[in-house]
Chains A and B, each alone.
Chain A
Amino acid sequence: AQSVTQLGSHVSVSEGALVLLRCNYSSSVPPYLFWYVQYPNQGLQLLLKYTSAATLVKGINGFEAEFKKSETSFHLTKPSAHMSDAAEYFCAVSDPRFSGGYNKLIFGAGTRLAVHP
């Protein structure tokens, strides 16, 4: 069965510092991988996705993520944090083999990012 593990339920960084949010997945085949962001009192917004093209994926707001098959990881990074990046971030995986629930996304527990001055 597929699963997603996000290391660290809370991450705190200074404004201007590197953001690194960790995501590891378990899947017997290369999956599709996603990062979503949830701002307070809002729904989830797609940041970026990996669907077996380039392993380094660039998303919105300066975020990027690298798919590393050998490490079964899809960590999210941003070189310089901004106060507006404070939000909850979810990693999600989808298995392209399952026709019945093909579009089903399995989510990690989330990482809340705090950015302080």
Chain B
Amino acid sequence: EAQVTQNPRYLITVTGKKLTVTCSQNMNHEYMSWYRQDPGLGLRQIYYSMNVEVTDKGDVPEGYKVSRKEKRNFPLILESPSPNQTSLYFCASSHTPGQGIYGYTFGSGTRLTVV
């Protein structure tokens, strides 16, 4: 089944404790992206990657890091989480524009609480 898999689904952590949220897709998509969803704000892009070893900042990158060493994986790293990073996070992937506009395939989300 074609899908984007995120782990964990739920995570409670303390301020300053480094964490990684994993994202993996099995559709051979070139493009991957991380969004955070907050009430009344919709989804805002954190980082994106056009292909392996090619990443760039989105609209709200502060406090986050990403890497793209393999095509299928795009982990989100919070090196020193703070309470304002409490949010619902989504990983998404799609083919590149040259193959048409397909829209995104989303993961099921990771609900992160930083206390």
Contact = CB atoms under 8 A, between A and B. Distances in A.
Interface of A: 4, 9, 32, 34, 36, 41-46, 49, 51, 90, 92, 94, 96, 100-105, 107-110
B33 interface: yes
Nearest to B90: A43
Given A43-B90, A103-B96, 6 more contacts: A36-B103, A96-B101, A107-B44, A108-B42, A109-B42, A110-B42
B101 A42 contact: no
Given A9-B40, A44-B106, A46-B103, A104 B97 contact: no
Contacts of B101: 32, 49, 51, 94, 96
Contacts of B41: 109
B56 A44 contact: no
- The prevalent SS among residues of B at the interface is strand
A101 B103 contact: no
A23 B41 CA distance: 15
Contacts of B45: 104-105
Contacts of A46: 103-104
Contact of A107 (B31, B42, B103, B108): B42
A51 B108 CA distance: 26
Contacts of A105: 43, 45, 104
